[in-house]
Chains A and B, each alone.
Chain A
Amino acid sequence: MKDIADQEVIDLEDMDVEAFNEFAAKQGWSDGMPLYIPTEEKVAKFVETVRGDNRPYPPVPPRQVVPTIQALAANAVMAGCKPEYFPVATAAMRGVLDPEYNLHGTLATTHSCAPMVMVSGPVRKELNINCGSNCFGQGWQANATIGRALGLMLLNVAGAKPGEMDRSTQGNPAKYTFCFGENEEENPWTPYHVQRGFAPTDNVVTVMSGEGPHNLNDHGSTTGIGLLTTFAGGMANPGANTIYGKGPMFVIIGPEHAATLKRDGYTIESIREELWKRSRVHLSRVSKENLETYSTTGHKPDGDWLTIGRDPNDIHITVAGGPGKHSAFIPSFGGTTVACTRIAR
């Protein structure tokens, strides 16, 4: 970050949007896509949406600066958010500041992790957050810009500049934006935020530092156990950080797969147990050097198998997406947590 970014208000004179984008890119404020100008008027409108949420923000690592709400709002404006999205973006920011989330580690690592943002509760419909077909993809302003706002906050407030503080070897397209809604309406079990102790009517943002979604395709299985066999096979990955056995992961079940599992009597708990048993990685798939390392860090094999995660509770389950025989696995950075934050509105 340049010193100019530490100024609360910058006089852009009569700079147009095109010139602002060139200026912002030179300052290192851009993710490479077009930005809106965060005028004082726009920033004030965004700040108004979180009036009353007076909880202080802790210092944001790695830079360890205490963010002003105006600085967060400026990044949400630049991302293309509507003002009403801002309470969701700030809840996501509070989530990544949970000490267990390990923001410094997740931003400075060579791993490709990006902040996954999942929205639950009635706010999904109010803001038109996509929970159905293509929920991880393009086409919805709320999904696209809320996830992007968090990314710009981490770039410009946290200081996660690629190649400098952000040391990711290859990065990940999800670093541009990764926000979706739970498909609570087609979840035959309990919505994720309710699993975590919130009321169904609460509006909640869940964050996890993860890879992009790995597709779990199964058009052939007609039984719950068949689907879980496929899911577990996709999760048993010796190249994901879950192999270290010390962090969470998400399985986002598509509605059609969820209906099959529900029909066959599966619950969230029994899905977790079954995936836990079946997603172990056989030692024949782990190099000798890696096995020695894992053993010295406390992750010892169970017979001829290595578990992913610490126990079944590391496997977080919910439903999202539209019609089709697909689900998704999202492995995490490993040394992180799944943080839930109520949206202040």
Chain B
Amino acid sequence: MTEWCGWPVVEETTAWEAAQQILTDSELSDGLPLVPPTRRRLEAMVA
């Protein structure tokens, strides 16, 4: 995992289940499945 503007960035190759655990451990989850914030998705969101 890396960071982007202070937020965790999940690698594209990280499995969704593993990404959920990373985000849950970072206290970023509401308990429901999250779409992993990868660099590709983050850049698309702010473009």
A interface residues with partner B (beta carbon < 8 Å): 17-18, 33-36, 79-80, 138-145, 148, 177
Q: Known: A17-B16, A141-B24. Contact between A34 and B31, CB under 8 A? A: no
Q: Which residues of chain A come closer than 8 Å to B29, judged between CB atoms?
A: 139, 141
Residue-wise interface mask of B (6-33) relative to A, using a CB-CB cutoff of 8 A (1 in contact, 0 not): 0000000000110010001000011111
- Known contacts A17-B16, A36-B16; A141/B31 CB under 8 A: yes
Q: List the B side residues contacting A33 at CB < 8 Å.
A: 32-33
Given contacts A33-B32, A33-B33, 10 further A-B contacts (CB under 8 A): A17-B16, A34-B35, A36-B16, A79-B33, A80-B20, A80-B33, A138-B32, A141-B32, A145-B31, A177-B32
Decide if B42 is an interface residue (CB 8 Å cutoff). Answer: no
CB distance from A118 to the nearest CB of B (A): 17
Instruction: Determine the chain B residues whose CB is within 8 A of the CB of A142 once the complex forms.
Output: 31
Residues of the B chain whose Cβ atoms lie less than 8 Å from the Cβ of A139: 29-31
Determine the residue in chain A with the shortest Cβ distance to B12.
A16
Provided the pairs A18-B35, A34-B35 are in contact, do residues A144 and B30 lie with their beta carbons within 8 angstroms?
A: yes
A104 CB → nearest B CB, Å:
28
Separation in Å of the A14 CB from the closest CB of chain B?
A: 14
| B13 CB to nearest chain A CB (Å) | 11
Sample 6 A-B pairs with CB under 8 A, ordered by A number. Answer: A34-B34, A36-B16, A36-B17, A79-B33, A138-B31, A177-B32
| Neighbouring A residues of B32 by C-beta, 8 Å | 33-34, 80, 138, 141, 144-145, 148, 177
- CB A168 to nearest CB in B, in angstroms, measures 21
- The answer for the CA separation of A36 and B33 in the assembled complex, in Å, is 7
Question: CB-CB < 8 A to B33: which residues of A?
Answer: 33-36, 79-80, 145
| B36 closest partner in A (C-beta) | A17
Report Cα–Cα, A333/B31, bound state, in Å.
27
CA gap between A35 and B33 in the complex, in Å: 7
User: In the complex, A314 Cα to B32 Cα: how many Å?
Assistant: 33
A146 nearest CB neighbor, chain B only: B31
Residues of A within 8 A of B35 (CB): 18, 34
Chain B residues within 8 Å of A80, by CB: 20, 31-33
**A182–B33 alpha-carbon span in the complex (Å):** 24
The 3 closest A-B pairs by CB, nearest first: A144-B31, A138-B30, A80-B33
Contacts of A79 in B (CB 8 A): 33
Report the minimum CB–CB distance from A18 to chain B (whole Å): 7
Contact partners of B30 in chain A: CB under 8 A = 138-139, 144
Inter-chain contacts of A36 with B (CB < 8 A): 16-17, 33
A138→B31 CA distance, assembly (Å): 7
> Within 8 Å CB of A140, what residues of B?
31
Bound Cα distance from A3 to B34, whole angstroms: 28
B17 partner residues in chain A, CB cutoff 8 A: 36
| Minimum CB distance partner of A137 in chain B | B30
B contact residues around A18 at 8 Å (CB): 35
Of all chain A residues, which has the CB nearest B17? A36
List of A residues within 8 angstroms of B20 by Cβ: 80
